[in-house]
Amino acid sequence: MKSILGMPAFRPMLAETAGEPFDDSSWLFEVKWDGYRCLLYLCRSGAGGDAYLLSRNGKNLGRYFPELLGLWKHLKGNSAVIDGEIVALARGRPDFGALRRHEGVLCYIAFDILHLDGSNFTPAPLSERRRRLASALDFSGNLVLSEGVAGRGRDLFEIAKERDLEGIMAKFLESPYLPGERSRYWLKIRNGKEKWFTVLGYRKASGSRVGSIIVGESMQDELVVRGAVSSGLGKEEEQRLLKLLRPVKAPLSVQEFRASREPGRGPREDTPYGKAVRERTYADVTWVVPDVRVLVSFTEMTPDGKLRHPVLRQIEGNRRAG
């Protein structure tokens, strides 16, 4: 895809992760919006206009969010490419679950501008791009400008924590826009939660024997899958896990794990837990004895009980499940 609505096809700039919030007058701090990252292409043509919503993965999101295709009416000039997120607001805050269910108040939150009336602004500093963004569009209704504060990252992060938001973004005010690149010019600082989970299995990946681990927790004497964790899993962690994990033919329930530790007892393959994980999603998993725990940070638990943005923080040795 070389062009969209007569404008260059861009890829969104990506952020690195920072562990802690900070204060610095040369940085802009914004709320980290919990939605779908999306480039918004707008153009006017005669008395009409058009809009195109391009996802981070290059998909056309307009067919899923047709109510946003009228955003071209907010354009003051002839054409623009905007960076932002599609967000659903529920109970006064972004709600990713509501967005997936297509509930709440749907809006597009804009935080950058790449192209305006035939001019490419990606080489310009963020401070200039933000000024042009503010004046290029009529922000009203379901088009919202992401407000930022310069220098006061710690204060904004405390507000994000108080309101249970996903976190904040830190952006260097003199940075260019680097399409498709992950850069330290932009940093995401998540309002994370931490919890211990049991390792239930692992997947291989290209160049590594442990590309991700499947984690879960005991719920009413049943081990429930909470998702896969790959972030934070380096070579050192991989080697330690390989020493600790003991593969089994089928996943174990808590009762079966306890029974397997008794002489003459072993796991059966027809348990409710075993049936639950014999889905296509887990067909390539090597299941293990659930006696290794890991500390995982995450932003939230989804409505279907899976971890969002999980990161491996710590590995604990073998222990009893439950």
Q: Pairing state of beta strands 193-205 and 286-287?
A: antiparallel
Alpha helix (H) residue ranges in 18-142 = 96-100, 126-136
Res 321 pLDDT > 50:
no
Q: What is the mean pLDDT of residues 136-159?
A: 95
Catalytic residue list contains 188? no
Catalytic residue among 32, 161, 195, 204: 32
pLDDT of residue 318: 63
| 101 vs 150, higher pLDDT | 150
Provide the percentage of residues in the chain whose pLDDT is more than 70.
87
Look over the chain and give the mean of its residue pLDDT values, rounded to a whole number: 86
Residue 12 has what pLDDT? 96
Looking at residue 51, its pLDDT comes to: 96
- Which whole number is the average pLDDT over 234-248? 88
Among the residue ranges 54-58, 128-132, 172-176, 257-261, the one predicted with the least confidence is 257-261
Q: What confidence score (pLDDT) does residue 127 get?
A: 97
95-138 pLDDT, tens digit per residue, is: 887 888 888 899 999 999 999 999 999 999 999 999 999 999 99
Please determine, for residue 272, whether its predicted confidence score (pLDDT) is greater than 60: no
Of 67, 15, 60, 27, the residue nearest 190 (C-alpha):
15
> Which tops the pLDDT comparison, 83 or 320?
83
How large is the average pLDDT for residues 181-204?
90
Predicted TM-score (pTM) of the model is 0.69
Which of 226, 223, 228, 322 has its CA nearest to residue 275?
A: 223
How is residue 87 written in tokens?
Answer: 């967000």
Residue 183's CB is within 10 A of a number of other CB atoms, namely 16
- Please give the average per-residue pLDDT across 261-288, as a whole number: 53
pLDDT digits (tens, 9 = 90+) for 24-63: 999 999 999 988 999 999 999 888 999 999 999 899 999 9
Per-residue pLDDT for 266 more than 60? Answer: no
pLDDT at residue 268, as a whole number: 38
Q: Which pLDDT belongs to residue 250?
A: 61
319 pLDDT more than 90: no
Look at strands 14-17 and 182-190 and give their pairing: parallel
CA–CA gap between residue 84 and residue 87 (Å, rounded): 9
pLDDT surpassing 80 at residue 150 = yes
| Domains with residue ranges and CATH for the chain | 3-190 (3.30.470.30), 193-318 (2.40.50.140)
Q: Is the pLDDT of residue 175 over 80?
A: yes
| Pairwise pLDDT comparison (276 vs 305), residue with the higher score | 305
DSSP code for 256: H
Residue 1 pLDDT: 61
Strand pairing report for 223-229 and 182-190:
unpaired
User: Residue 281's pLDDT is what?
Assistant: 62
